Amino acid sequence: MEFSAHAIQRCNQRAIRQQQVQWIVEFGCHTWNRGARVHYFDRSHFQRLLLGLSPTERQLAEKARNAYVVVKGGVIITVGRRHAVFCTSKPGSHRRIDWRHGEQRAA
């Protein structure tokens, strides 16, 4: 997958490696937001990733657990770290996910 210049800059600023981004896109779940796919890990997808990793890779994966990747048109637009509450729906909707517990809650 191709990285935009903005995504490379954000990876450097937020200490997110390209290997971590690949894991998020390959093994994580996704949602749609403003026409772009937002990839992230929930508990079950993260556990699935850990099954095939060595102990050193697991340490790297733990650091990627709270990261997200935004992809549009096959290009990675940006990456970031999630906060406790992250809106996964279109603007104006009230469906949010509490990342600390992996469950939906009303806004």
- 25-58 pLDDT, tens digit each: 999 999 998 899 999 998 888 888 888 888 889 9
Question: What CA–CA distance (Å, rounded) separates 28 from 68?
Answer: 9
Are residues 56 and 12 in contact, defined by beta-carbon separation less than 8 angstroms? no
Which long-range CB contacts under 8 A does 51-60 form with residues at least 24 apart?
Answer: 60/17, 60/19, 60/20
Whether 106 is covered by a domain: the verdict is no
Whether 14 is covered by a domain: the verdict is yes
Mean pLDDT of 62-86: 86
pLDDT at 106 over 70: no
Number of domains in the chain: 1
Whether 38 is covered by a domain: the verdict is yes
Spatial neighbors of 63 by CB under 8 A, at least 6 apart, are 15, 20
Q: Assign 100 a pLDDT band (cuts: 50, 70, 90).
A: low
Place of tokens 């939906």: 104
Q: Which of 18-22, 37-41, 79-83 has the lowest mean pLDDT?
A: 79-83
Whether 46 is covered by a domain: the verdict is yes
Whether 102 is covered by a domain: the verdict is no
Whether 43 is covered by a domain: the verdict is yes
Q: Assign 87 a pLDDT band (cuts: 50, 70, 90).
A: low
pLDDT of 60 reads 87
Q: Domain range spanning residue 27?
A: 2-82
Where do the DSSP E strands lie in 1-65?
2-3, 29-33, 36-40
pLDDT of 5 reads 94
